[in-house]
Amino acid sequence: MAKKVLLEKAHIKGIRAYDVYKAQGGYASVEKAFKMDPAAIVEEVKKSGLRGRGGAGFPTGMKWSFLAKPEGVPRYLVCNADESEPGTFKDRYLMEFLPHLLIEGLIVSSFALGSNSTYIYIRGEYAWIVDILEQAIAEAKQHGYLGKNILNTGFDCEIYVQRGAGAYICGEETALIESLEGKRGNPRIKPPFPAIKGLWDCPTVVNNVETIAAVVPIINMGGEEYAKIGVGRSTGTKLLSACGNINKPGVYEIDMTISVEEFIYSDEYCGGIPNGKKLKACIPGGSSVPILPANLLLKTAKGETRYMNYESLSDGGFATGSMMGSGGFIVLDEDQCIVRHTMTFARFYRHESCGQCSPCREGTGWMEKILTKIENGKGQSSDIDLLWDIQRKIEGNTICPLGDAAAWPVAAAIRHFRDEFEWHVNNPSLCLTENYGIAHYADELSIVS
């Protein structure tokens, strides 16, 4: 049984309420942190090795240490709760069932960073969770953990919840800041980085929900103890949103020492694939990360076991690896059509592009059109090469990572499943039949049981 530090108390009845949460040891990290120097809290987060859980995996303590501290200028902490990555729903779970864990983490983090006004920017579709968070904030304030002179420490802090309007692009921190300021959510050119010039041109730290929640156990147990969980630079636990062709979809907390095979087939986690189907592929970190075929998902290119952590999933680069990303673990069985899935993702990224950069604005549209053409049995062999060329010209040529997020799924699908694209081109009549499914062609694939 994997060690749990975030979801350990999620099963307790009534844990959403302040009284129950407090009785279970809640807000102990706040009281401990207020006896520490803010710089010491940052140091503990550094020692923990905590990496951003929103997708990039950048060391959190290092990010905090970059925050500028000019005299007479406010600093801000912004919690990125704009969980819009397809296949990802673990932040929603945290906010819905453990809202006080997030509030506690925000208070400690705000104290460490010197933020007196802290914001939760939440995905607009999470309307019911806004009410849950507002209730938790009100309870925390009622019991003296928010407001003026918290616990007689002289520290003031207010937490505000701001709803987004359902734009995927606002998951990018500078687009989020623009939206929070009441502007169109277009990413900013960096530098300057938010740590220097962020919200209202003031020093700002933007962290994901899970990242902020992890600050609580780090302070409670100490950074060095937290770092003992996991392996290498993949310290602590990680929440995964498991979905797709599995028997037990849901949110799981792992310590990043288990293998991918164990995560998929163990009864403790996903419980295997329904109806005895074979594993075809998996998207391990949300729709924006490269898809991996079964043989590379369970073993690295060197034949070593692939584990559920940052280093192992990326082993070999994008040629033979992927990314932990946001933890949206999407499993595909042998009957799934890679071309259809790639087309769906391309449609999503075309729709969500802010249009600021021409490679992304035009390129995502072209990729969707070509993939739709191939999926509908009207493709040509040259279309596959054209797709490859378009994604190559998008990647690395945009202000924000949305262009990369749109290009990587297409590149990986062609890299690992080019024969499936060619099958669509060579069998146009079958593409037009209902449920043509790749079962006709499954025997030709390198499928691992």
Query: 298-356, pLDDT tens digit by residue?
Result: 988 788 899 999 999 999 888 888 999 889 999 999 999 999 999 999 999 999 999 99
Indicate whether 1 pLDDT > 90.
no
Q: How much is the CA Rg of the chain, to the nearest whole Å? A: 23
Domains of the chain: 18-228 (3.40.50.11540), 234-330 (3.10.20.600), 338-444 (1.20.1440.230)
Q: Are 391 and 341 in contact (CB under 8 A)?
A: no
The whole-number pLDDT of residue 2 equals: 65
Tokens of 24: 């279970």
Tokens of 44: 């503990």
Helices (H) and strands (E) in the chain, counts: 19, 11
The whole-number pLDDT of residue 432 equals: 63
Sort strands 238-244 and 328-333 into parallel, antiparallel or unpaired: parallel
Query: 192-228, pLDDT tens digit by residue?
Result: 999 999 999 999 999 999 999 999 999 999 999 999 9
The whole-number pLDDT of residue 433 equals: 59
Q: Are 90 and 210 in contact (CB under 8 A)?
A: yes
Please name the residues in contact with 428: beta carbons below 8 A apart, sequence gap of 6 or more: 377, 378, 379
Distance of CA 316 to the CA centre of its chain: 21
Q: How far is CA 290 from CA 18, 31, 123, 321, 337, in A?
A: 41, 43, 24, 8, 16
Mean pLDDT, the chain, integer: 92
What is the rounded distance in angstroms from the CA atom of residue 131 to the CA atom of residue 360?
36
pTM of the full predicted structure?
0.92
What is the rounded distance in angstroms from the CA atom of residue 257 to the CA atom of residue 141?
39
Distance of CA 380 to the CA centre of its chain: 35
What is the rounded distance in angstroms from the CA atom of residue 72 to the CA atom of residue 264?
52
